[in-house]
Amino acid sequence: MFNLILFGPPGSGKGTQSEQLIARYGLKHLSTGDLLRSEISRQTALGLEAKKFMDKGQLVPDEVVIGMISSALDEHPDARGFLFDGFPRTSAQAEALDKLLELKNTSISVMLALDVSEEELVKRLLKRGETSGRSDDNNEQVIRARIVEYHNKTAAVADYYKQFDKVVMVPGEGSIAHIFDSLCKEIDPRMAEA
């Protein structure tokens, strides 16, 4: 199995690149943001609870997202690999993910971390808010809160994987096609080895 984490702050292009990566490599896309938004639109108890945090730009509690990922992994026993997008976002989530993958006799192959400047992130998110229909994208205060959560809780996840030498930084500014190329250059040799 080949399991990839696409990492980076909100607005770094994880969703956009994920769509192209899963098409090229046949991985199963697991985006906790998408899973949570689907829970909200179906008005489930989990969705209603999660929405309170998401509307403020705060992270949803670990046990909620870990439970969601655990079920999603079980739903796809035949996947050739997973692309994790927006997960893990805390060290506790990273440790839980390692354990879940270990139970399936697999592990994270690599974390590709998109590097984008903070001003570019805010600009992109506000622009996305014009069309995405996401209430957390069209309010600058909520966007800034999401970036603060990233620095306080999520950036440390890269340090967690650095101890296993699994992190590769990829410049996340420039054309979508060029960034995609840079990601593929990192994935191809690793996938050939897997």
Catalytic residue annotation: 14, 89, 128, 134, 146
The angle, 0 to 180 degrees and rounded to 10, between the axes of the packed helices 91-103 and 155-162 is 50
Q: In the chain, how many H helices and how many E strands?
A: 9, 5
Place of tokens 């999660």: 50
* Of 100, 29, 47, the residue nearest 70 (C-alpha): 100
Q: 23: which 2 tokens?
A: 């098409």
Work out whether 36 is an interface residue with ligand AMP (CB under 6 A).
Answer: yes
Work out whether 60 is an interface residue with ligand AMP (CB under 6 A).
Answer: yes
Work out whether 8 is an interface residue with ligand AMP (CB under 6 A).
Answer: no
Give CA–CA dist 178/81, Å, rounded.
Answer: 24
Q: By CB under 6 A, which span of 49-57, 98-106, 111-119, 178-186 interacts with ligand AMP?
A: 49-57
Among 22, 65, 73, 121, binds ligand AMP (CB under 6 A): 65
Q: By CB under 6 A, which span of 54-62, 100-108, 172-180, 186-194 interacts with ligand AMP?
A: 54-62
Give CA–CA dist 68/36, Å, rounded.
Answer: 9
CB of 128 to ligand AMP, least distance (A): 10
Work out whether 121 is an interface residue with ligand AMP (CB under 6 A).
Answer: no
6 bridge partner residues: 85, 112
Give CA–CA dist 78/177, Å, rounded.
Answer: 30
Work out whether 150 is an interface residue with ligand AMP (CB under 6 A).
Answer: no
Place of tokens 């996947």: 79
Q: By CB under 6 A, which span of 39-47, 71-79, 87-95, 110-118 interacts with ligand AMP?
A: 87-95
Work out whether 124 is an interface residue with ligand AMP (CB under 6 A).
Answer: no
Binding site for ligand AMP (CB under 6 A): 10, 32-33, 36, 53-54, 57-60, 65, 86-87, 89, 93, 136, 146
